[in-house]
Amino acid sequence: MDYIIHRSLLQAVTLAFYTLLLVSCQPQQESPPTDLAQGTWVDLTYPFDKNTIYWPTDTLGFRLDTVFHGTTENDYFYSAYGFSSAEHGGTHLDAPVHFAEGRNTVDAIPISQLVGPAQIIDVSNQAQGDRDYLVSVADLKAWENEQGEIPPGSIILLRTGYGAFWPDRQKYLGTEAFGPEAVTQLHFPGLHPDAARWLSQQRDIKAIGLDTPSIDYGQSSLFEAHRILFKSNIPVFENLANLDKLPIQGSWVIALPMNIGGGSGAPLRATAWIP
Candidate from 11-25, 98-112, 224-238 with smallest mean pLDDT? 11-25
pLDDT in tens, 82-135: 999 999 999 999 999 999 999 999 999 999 999 999 999 999 999 999 999 999
Say what percent of the chain tops pLDDT 90: 86
Q: Which of 174, 163, 146, 165 is nearest to 239 (CA)?
A: 163
Candidate from 27-31, 35-39, 56-60, 259-263 with smallest mean pLDDT? 27-31
CA dist 89 → 53, 194, 200 (Å): 6, 26, 25
**Cα 104 from Cα 264, distance rounded (Å):** 8
The H or E element containing residue 90 is none
Q: If you average pLDDT over residues 235-256, what whole number do you get?
A: 98
pLDDT in tens, 142-184: 999 999 999 999 999 999 999 999 999 999 999 999 999 999 9
Q: Which domains does the chain have, with CATH numbers?
A: 40-60+87-274 (3.50.30.50)
Q: Which residues are catalytic?
A: 98
CA end-to-end distance (rounded Å), the chain: 56
Q: If you average pLDDT over residues 205-219, what whole number do you get?
A: 98
pTM of the model: 0.88
Provide the pLDDT for residue 30.
61
Q: Identify the DSSP state of 12.
A: H
Cβ-proximal residues to 229 (8 Å cutoff; 6+ apart), any chain: 96, 196, 199, 200, 208, 215, 236
**Cα 39 from Cα 29, distance rounded (Å):** 20
Provide the pLDDT for residue 106.
98
Provide the pLDDT for residue 6.
47
Q: Find the largest Cα–Cα distance for the chain.
A: 93
pLDDT in tens, 38-75: 899 999 999 999 999 999 999 999 999 999 999 999 99
